[in-house]
Structure 1
Amino acid sequence: MSVSATASAVARAEAPAATPSRTAHGPGSAPARPRSVPSWVWALPPVAVLALAFLYPLALVVQQSVTPDEGGVSLDPYADVFASEVFRDALTTTVWLAVGSTVGCLVLGFVLALVIAFVPFPGGKAVARFVDVFLSFPSFLITLALLFVYGSVGMANGLWTDVTGAAEGPFHFLTTPWGVLLAEITYFTPFVMRPLLAAFSQLDTGQLEVASSLGAGPVRIIRRVILPEALPALAAGGSLVLVMCLNEFGIVLFTGAKDVTTLPMLVYSKAILESDYPAACVVAVVNIAISVGLYGLYRVVSRRAGA
């Protein structure tokens, strides 16, 4: 073997083995990390939908509420509406109906929840489940049911006229504020019962047994043991009912109570019947402001109650 051939063989043996080049997308290479999308991009679609479906119409209502009417008769819609006796009466009626309905729902809901949770009777679980189903009913359906029972040509008046032979029955309260109050209490009571039943289900029954063994009567057990545990649920349910009663429209409309004018009914009257859109928008803005304030209260109470 020649010297040159021997040198070439040694050079080939000592040369490092060639390693295949690693490309960005070849086998064994690290995958390219996708570019992250800024978080604000994902927020754009829901914000756009919210702005188009809610914020823009709300802005139009607020703008219309500060715009004088076309005839130039009303230069300050807020001053004219606030000075109106109709508005003051509607505001007073709305507040007392909402407060009265809330108090009635709290009392009735607490009693019914106590019976369902602590008094064993056949069908108790079915009644508790029906409370959940009742929450899905529309408000006008309850009003129609009351009309079938206590309306001018309802079953109660029909039974009275059949028995006494009178020309008409004595039940005509559904067209009064008391009828609206009854309908709202009937419809909104389950909204108080639902959080109460949830709170009662977490109550330690051992406390009740200990209190009973120490000689405490049912009234004292309710006052000293059950009521403190139920207060957060009562506050949360009552706040929610107050907000919903404040904005209730269907019950007032379907009872046919012509002398009962609430803020939602006044908005309907001003906008649809009188075509006074600035005044209707002013009342709507006032109603929204009160509702948002009460909703904020409801959220605070619910957070403290752990709801």
Structure 2
Amino acid sequence: MAVEALTATVAVSNQSRGERRWLWLVPPLLLIAVLVVYPLVLVAAESAPAWGEVLGSVEFRDALVRTVQVAVCSTIGCLLVGTFLAVVISFVPFPGARLVASLVDTMLALPSFLVALSFTFIYGTAGILRTGGFLTTPWAVVLAEITFYTPFVMRPLLAAMSRLPRAQLDVAASLGAGPWRVLRQVVLPEVRPAMVAGGSLTLLLTLNEFGIVLFLGAKGTTTLPMLVHTKGIVMFEYPAACAIAVVQIVLSLGLYALLRKALGGGRRARLD
């Protein structure tokens, strides 16, 4: 009887403890509902009257295409430049390599508009290079985003390359493989997960970049975030701005889910 009573007491205690654990979920769920879900619901509700106008607008379609073009071009540029710099810092000994790696970390803490500001002093009409109308082209936005977001690719690549077994590289070199072959067949396959992770993050960030585009004010480079700002702040067309914002949110979340599924599928394949 004593054992049965003790067992019943333990069961009741575990049940009450489990109920208390569920109570801890209430505050964060309420916080998310108030700070995230409720504003999104308001934006979606406000956008209802403007969907026909927005989807039929040439301005919206051009902004959508331009947003994807700028994000993809910037991400490809970041992958190329970031991989090159990471290889040089990791495998080409030169004085100041640690200082350069530290500067990479510092770049991550800077606001994006500083890059756009520096571009005006370099490429502007009164700048050092005086390239005329370069700042008014989409390529100026792409170059500025590559400059700012390349560290987001370099940082995971540097971490992955620092964990590469040097013995593996030495064996490949001793078997007659040249530097380019070692890089292509040994280094890049090993650091591919870090490259994909950095590229995915960069693609998501450039897709939603606003500060660089706004500060440069490049003609013909109206992206979705810029169009939201124009419709909502400049023209006071709030339903249209909310509709475009909903499209931006859906695009970002869809891309995030797609990348997460692709990365998760890759991990499951390796485990299998």
TM-score (norm 2): 0.88
The match for 1:188 is 149
Amino acid at match of 1:136: A
Identity rate, percent: 55
2:72 paired with 1:99: yes
1:302–1:122 CA distance, 2 compared to 1 (3 A)? farther
C-alpha displacement of 1:279: 1.0
Q: Tell me: CA distance 1:302–1:128, structure 2 relative to 1, closer, same or farther (3 Å).
A: farther
Equivalent-residue separation in structure 2 for 1:259 and 1:147 (angstroms): 18
Tell me how far 1:305 sits from its aligned partner.
Answer: 6.0
How far apart, in 2, do the equivalents of 1:192 and 1:64 lie?
37
Give me the whole-angstrom Cα distance separating, in 1, the residues matched to 2:120 and 2:86.
Answer: 26
> How many equivalent residue pairs?
253
Matches within 5 A, 1:1-307: 36=17, 38-66=20-48, 68=49, 77-157=50-130, 170-301=131-262, 303=264, 304=266
Q: Structure 1: how far apart are the matches of 2:132 and 2:147?
A: 17
User: Displacement, 1:271?
Assistant: 0.8
Letter in 2 for 1:230: V
By percentage of residues, which structure has more helix?
2
CA separation in 1, counterparts of 2:40 and 2:123? 39
1:109–1:193 Cα contact (<8 Å) kept? yes
CA contact 2:74–2:206 (8 Å) conserved in 1 = yes
CA deviation after TM superposition for structure 1 residue 151, in Å? 1.3
Compared with structure 1, are the counterparts of its residues 290 and 143 closer, same or farther at alpha carbon in structure 2 (3 Å cutoff)?
same
* Aligned CA-pair RMSD: 1.8
CA contact (8 A) 1:236 1:301 kept: no
SS at match of 1:38: helix
Contact 2:86 2:154 in 1 (8 A): yes
Unaligned residue ranges in structure 2 (runs of 5+)? 1-12
Once residues 254 and 155 of structure 2 are traced to their aligned partners in structure 1, the CA distance between those partners, rounded to angstroms, is: 23
Distance 2:259 2:206 in 1: 13
Match of 2:4 in 1: none
CA contact (8 A) 1:239 1:294 kept: no
- 2 CA distance for matches of 1:88 and 1:271? 18
* Whole-angstrom CA distance in 2 between matches of 1:117 and 1:269: 44
User: 1:165 corresponds to which residue?
Assistant: none
Stretches of structure 1 that go unaligned for 5 or more consecutive residues are 1-32, 69-76, 158-169
Using the alignment, how far apart are the partners of 2:262 and 2:80 within structure 1? 19
Shift of 1:215: 1.5
Whole-Å separation in 1 of the counterparts to 2:147 and 2:263: 23
Q: Is the 2:138–2:219 contact (alpha carbons within 8 Å) kept by the matching residues of 1? A: no
For 2:267 and 2:199, the matched residues in 1 are separated by 12
Q: State the 1:272 CA deviation.
A: 1.2
- The one-letter code sitting in structure 2 at the alignment partner of 1:276 is E
Deviations 1:137-164 (A, max 9, x none): 110011111211111211223xxxxxxx
Residues 252-295 of structure 1 show CA distances to partners (whole Å, capped at 9, x for unaligned) of: 00112132100001111111122111111111011000101122
How many Å apart are 1:301 and its aligned residue? 4.9
Higher RCO, Cα 8 Å, sep 6+: 2
SS of the residue 1:155 aligns to: coil
Q: CA deviation at 1:56?
A: 0.7
* Residues 109-159 of structure 1: per-residue CA shift (max 9 Å, x gap): 0000000110111111121122112111110011111211111211223xx
